[in-house]
A and B are shown apart, each in its own frame.
Chain A
Amino acid sequence: MLDAALLLGALLACVVGMGWFALSLDVHWAQVRGSAPQSPALVKALRLAGAAALMFSLVLCLTVDSPSIAVLVWLMAVAGATLAIAFTLTWRASMLQMLVFWTTSQGAR
């Protein structure tokens, strides 16, 4: 049960991490937050946060399984998360606002 919870956490961390990566791109930021481009500092912060989330996901995978299986699970989870974020941006882009809840459209430069 604990293993299942940790793997679920790893999947969620991948989705959140890839979501932050996507939002660091102007075109997807505009889809989620309107047309205002984001500040360079926010772009950097989102990319760092995305990388950290993916690393956290890898650590969770390694906690549950042997390294050979964990790396495979993580790689495939990243692929699945990328698809999930791409389709969310296509059909429900506003849902990704929750990933940048601390920012506002007005605050973006």
Chain B
Amino acid sequence: MFANFRHSMAWLHTWCGLALGFVLMVVFFFGSLSVFDREIDRWAIPDTRFEPQPMPSFDKMLRPVFETMQPDAAARAATAPLVDGPLPERFDTPRSWGAYTTHRDPVLLLFAGYEVPGAKDHETAIYANRTVDPRTGEALPTDRLKLGSEFFYPLHYSLSLDWKNVGYWIVGFSALMMLMALVTGVIMHRKIFRELFTFRPKKTTQRSMLDMHNLTGVVALPFHFFFAFTGLVIFAYIYFPVTHTQLAPLHDRHEQIEAKETGLPHDRAGVAAPMASVDAMVAEAQRRWAAKGMGGAVGYLNVQHVGDANGYVSVYRAGTDRVQLTGEGIHFKLSTGELLREDPPPTLVARINEFLTGLHLQHFKHWLLRWLYVLGGLSGCACIATGLFFFVEKRKRHHAKHGVSGARVVDALAVTVVTGMLVATLSLLIANRLLPDLMPAGWPLRGAMEKYCFWGAWVLAAVHGWWRTASVAEGRLAPAWREQCLAIAVLAVVAPVLNWITTGDHLLRTIGSGYWPVAGADLFMLASSALAFMAARKLQARAARPVTASNVKLEAKHA
């Protein structure tokens, strides 16, 4: 079928890359934004624009908050089908209370899980979440969408398609195919080292796109490989759900045995017990970490079997000083404060898993490395986008000559996922600044409206992309690219200006006070605006350039 091995690899690279490149573009772009998800949250929720806070006192502040928490209507609706009979008005038996923060979070995320009376499966739990200001314990409004951590981040790993985890499967399959595309790409590329630094924008569009595709693909090859691979490792439990299917009895038995070995009770005793000072337990955990020469900030605090004689408290360290996602957990008896267990050093396999997971999830405190991750992610976007451009450039004249619309369809889809995605993202940020704090009666909640604005803008960009790529069917450059670049240039200025008008936080103030989460977001948008404007001008110049016979000949030679 193919003349040689390299040709077969080229076929695989081209068609798998084309089929899944659109998904990977979304994954890479929102993954890049997710590196600064907490900072984007600050931009989107002005009430949270203050410095990151340490874990507050559990005894004085968190416990009273936990005691008032109850599942919301959405959680109740999701749980109702899992229960025989009606749900109770209140859930009175907390299974666990958890508090989570990072070195970048001014706010604290709390979640409480409750036993569900009458549940068909006795392990069913219902959860309540709350985000609080750790300085006062006051709850933040529940209808504020955390754009970074609750919208862009889930888009990165699940495309926000939650039905039967279908989004996770699409992203996982795409990551697997990306690994294959990286390997086949290396096999296809004859001059990896000789052309490592080569980019020739003055050559034909097709040649320069291939140069950029090779350059951005090769320079960040280790980054692309490790991120695709570690993404698969993180969600391996979804892709191989054996512990809850074929091996479920073994899994349940293992949990019981592990609970006996560690001394951390698996179930409630059914005997009420008072709660000792959790703050004293946290202080003891920090003393033990300090004795090992480790930083002592608490990242995650969990109280299991609340109010029961079997209750215990787990204190985990925020591992900001290393790549590994590690907590060095220390566990105490809830009723007495007695030390139950200090997690032993992880096994070799566990250490590898912690490293691979931490590499991807980046809990470390290192701003330079964060920016370098963004560079790696955006180079991935550039690699995928130029791969799509190359596909179109290579075929559009041939397709035009034979009346085939393949190149036009690919170009329209590429417009949608490259510039269209940026238009949608900026529209969401603008909607975030323009929507009223309280939506009128009968309207969806503010957070839901923001999401509708995002999807609506993306659909409009797709329609525009389809409409304004008709010229590709005639072998010419589509004006959709230039027009959407201009739209990005305008929107990326409008968003920071609206931030200034609605919050008073203009760049002079945020830079002057050193508040980089908001200053960085504004500067990033302004830089994007400048780049988009330059791209629009270049595209205009290229569109105005007459198609010469030599140009066509050169491009045909590569086709």
Instruction: Tell yes or no: B448 within 8 A of A by CB.
Output: no
Instruction: Tell yes or no: B199 within 8 A of A by CB.
Output: yes
Q: Which residues of A contact B379 (CB under 8 A)?
A: 79, 83
**In the complex, per-residue mask of A59-92: 1 if CB is within 8 Å of any chain B CB, else 0:** 0000001101100110111011011011101100
Instruction: Give the contacting residue for B197; candidates A28, A66, A69, A76; CB below 8 A.
Output: A28
Contact A82 B197 (CB under 8 A): yes
Contact A68 B369 (CB under 8 A): no
Instruction: Tell yes or no: A22 within 8 A of B by CB.
Output: yes
Q: Which residues of A contact B198 (CB under 8 A)?
A: 27, 86
Contact A69 B219 (CB under 8 A): no
A72 to B324, CA, bound (A): 12
For the A-B complex, the count of residue pairs with Cβ-Cβ distances under 8 Å equals 73
Instruction: Tell yes or no: A25 within 8 A of B by CB.
Output: yes
Instruction: Give the contacting residue for B376; candidates A18, A28, A79; CB below 8 A.
Output: A79
Instruction: Tell yes or no: B359 within 8 A of A by CB.
Output: yes
Contact B219 A83 (CB under 8 A): yes
Instruction: Give the contacting residue for A87; candidates B199, B220, B359, B369; CB below 8 A.
Output: B199
Instruction: Give the contacting residue for B322; candidates A66, A73, A89; CB below 8 A.
Output: A66
Interface residues of B in 217-250 (CB under 8 A from A): 219-220, 222-223
A82 to B359, CA, bound (A): 22
Contact A22 B376 (CB under 8 A): no
Residue of B nearest to A26 (CB): B194
> How many residues from A make CB contacts under 8 Å with B?
25
Instruction: Tell yes or no: A7 within 8 A of B by CB.
Output: yes
Contact B372 A85 (CB under 8 A): no
Query: Provided the pairs A25-B194, A76-B375 are in contact, do residues A82 and B219 lie with their beta carbons within 8 angstroms?
Result: yes
Instruction: Tell yes or no: B355 within 8 A of A by CB.
Output: yes
Interface SS, A side = helix
**In the complex, per-residue mask of B178-196: 1 if CB is within 8 Å of any chain A CB, else 0:** 0000000000000000101
* Residue among A18, A25, A28, A72 facing the most chain B CB atoms (10 A cut-off): A72
A47 → chain B closest CB, angstroms:
11
Q: Which residues of A contact B258 (CB under 8 A)?
A: none
B345 → chain A closest CB, angstroms:
16
A107 to B519, CA, bound (A): 50
* Residue among A76, A77, A82, A83 facing the most chain B CB atoms (10 A cut-off): A76
Contact A79 B366 (CB under 8 A): no
Instruction: Tell yes or no: B389 within 8 A of A by CB.
Output: no
**In the complex, per-residue mask of B343-367: 1 if CB is within 8 Å of any chain A CB, else 0:** 0000000000001000100001010
A18 to B201, CA, bound (A): 21
Query: Provided the pairs A75-B222, A77-B372 are in contact, do residues A68 and B200 lie with their beta carbons within 8 angstroms?
Result: no
Q: Which residues of A contact B201 (CB under 8 A)?
A: 90
Q: Which residues of B contact A66 (CB under 8 A)?
A: 321-323
Q: Which residues of A contact B330 (CB under 8 A)?
A: none
A73 to B292, CA, bound (A): 26
A73 to B196, CA, bound (A): 20
Q: Which residues of B contact A85 (CB under 8 A)?
A: 197
Q: Which residues of A contact B322 (CB under 8 A)?
A: 66, 68-69
A68 to B354, CA, bound (A): 12
A19 → chain B closest CB, angstroms:
9
Q: Which residues of B contact A77 (CB under 8 A)?
A: 372
A85 to B199, CA, bound (A): 10
Query: Provided the pairs A68-B323, A69-B364 are in contact, do residues A79 and B220 lie with their beta carbons within 8 angstroms?
Result: yes
A86 to B214, CA, bound (A): 12
A108 to B219, CA, bound (A): 29
Q: Which residues of A contact B375 (CB under 8 A)?
A: 76, 79-80, 83
A28 to B200, CA, bound (A): 12
A6 to B223, CA, bound (A): 23
B367 → chain A closest CB, angstroms:
10
Contact B199 A68 (CB under 8 A): no
Contact A25 B376 (CB under 8 A): no
Instruction: Give the contacting residue for A72; candidates B194, B219, B323; CB below 8 A.
Output: B323
Q: Which residues of A contact B373 (CB under 8 A)?
A: 76
A73 to B131, CA, bound (A): 33
Instruction: Tell yes or no: B215 within 8 A of A by CB.
Output: yes
A28 to B215, CA, bound (A): 15
Query: Provided the pairs A82-B197, A83-B379, A86-B199 are in contact, do residues A69 and B223 lie with their beta carbons within 8 angstroms?
Result: no
Q: Which residues of A contact B222 (CB under 8 A)?
A: 75, 79
B213 → chain A closest CB, angstroms:
13
Interface residues of A in 25-75 (CB under 8 A from B): 25, 27-28, 65-66, 68-69, 72-73, 75
Q: Which residues of A contact B219 (CB under 8 A)?
A: 79, 82-83, 86
Q: Which residues of B contact A90 (CB under 8 A)?
A: 199-201
* Known pairs A76-B369, A79-B379, A82-B215 / 10 extra A-B pairs, C-beta < 8 Å: A65-B366, A68-B324, A68-B355, A72-B372, A76-B373, A79-B220, A82-B196, A83-B215, A83-B216, A86-B198
8 residue pairs of the A-B complex, CB under 8 angstroms, read A65-B366, A68-B323, A68-B355, A69-B323, A76-B369, A79-B372, A86-B199, A86-B219
4 nearest CB pairs, A to B: A76-B372, A68-B323, A82-B219, A86-B197
